[in-house]
Amino acid sequence: MHDLLFSTAFTVWGVATSWAEAVAVVLALAMVGMNIRERHWGWPLAILSSILYFFIFQRSQLYGDAALQVFFILLAGWGWTKWLRGRRADGSALVVSVLSGRGRLGVLLAWALLWPALGLFLLRFTDTDVPWWDAFPTAGSLVGQYLLARKYTENWPAWLAVNVAGAALYAYKGLWITALLYAVFAMLSVSGWRAWQARSVAAA
């Protein structure tokens, strides 16, 4: 099965693209489409995509991104339950909302602390050649996934920053179809941001 997943599906700009990467891209695009429309089926698609990307990133020595997929799988399970049965702090149904100013500051602080912590870990304990670059989208993805699970509109600008950084990183690593996917993700992040802003409730 492993050999089949990593056999060549097609070639992009002279670089072979595996079946694993091709299928992961399709699943990830479907996932984002579901997220924009607030369809809970995006979460199981996220789990399947993350399983494939764990092996893809591991093979490319992107250990931060590989480890991130494990967290994504766990967070996707949690997010799925939140979208199905989650409640806001006041006990009302979980709906699209915006963070307070204090909440936004907390999000930025969490990202600012996670980035160097993850970068230092990757530098000291792995053989990656891009520890800080890898750590930035890894930290941002953890923040973005939490915000998405709680249906905060701010998840979309977080994903926009992650996707721009990720597209450049994956292009550098020769994962061209994934780099293109993240460029598309960046555009979809803008669309998702606008769509969620239009139906968001008062600051939470």
Q: Using CA atoms, how far apart are residues 178 and 166, in angstroms rounded to an integer?
A: 9
Q: Using CA atoms, how far apart are residues 201 and 143, in angstroms rounded to an integer?
A: 21
Does residue 89 or residue 126 have the better pLDDT?
126
The mean pLDDT of 168-193, rounded to a whole number, is: 89
Torsion angle defined by CA atoms of residues 199, 184, 67 and 115, in that order, rounded to the nearest 10 degrees: -70
Residue 29 identity: L
Q: Using CA atoms, how far apart are residues 34 and 40, in angstroms rounded to an integer?
A: 7
Structure confidence at residue 3 as a pLDDT band (50, 70, 90): low
Q: Using CA atoms, how far apart are residues 61 and 123, in angstroms rounded to an integer?
A: 12
Percent of the chain at pLDDT above 70?
92
Of 142, 158, 167, 143, nearest to 190 (Cα)?
158
Q: Using CA atoms, how far apart are residues 187 and 191, in angstroms rounded to an integer?
A: 7
Beta-ladder partners of 87:
93
Q: In this predicted model, what pLDDT tens digit does every residue of 115-144 receive, in sequence order? A: 999 999 888 888 888 889 989 998 999 899
Residue 125 identity: F
Structure confidence at residue 12 as a pLDDT band (50, 70, 90): low
Of 116, 125, 137, nearest to 179 (Cα)?
137
Q: In this predicted model, what pLDDT tens digit does every residue of 26-58 receive, in sequence order? A: 999 999 999 999 999 999 999 999 999 898 888
Name the residue with tokens 């909302």.
Answer: 97
The pLDDT assigned to 31 comes to 93
> Under a CB-based contact definition with an 8 Å cutoff, are residues 17 and 11 in contact?
yes
The pLDDT assigned to 46 comes to 93
Residue 100 has what DSSP assignment? Answer: -
The pLDDT assigned to 170 comes to 87
Question: Residues 56, 60, 65, 66: is their CA dihedral positive or negative?
Answer: positive
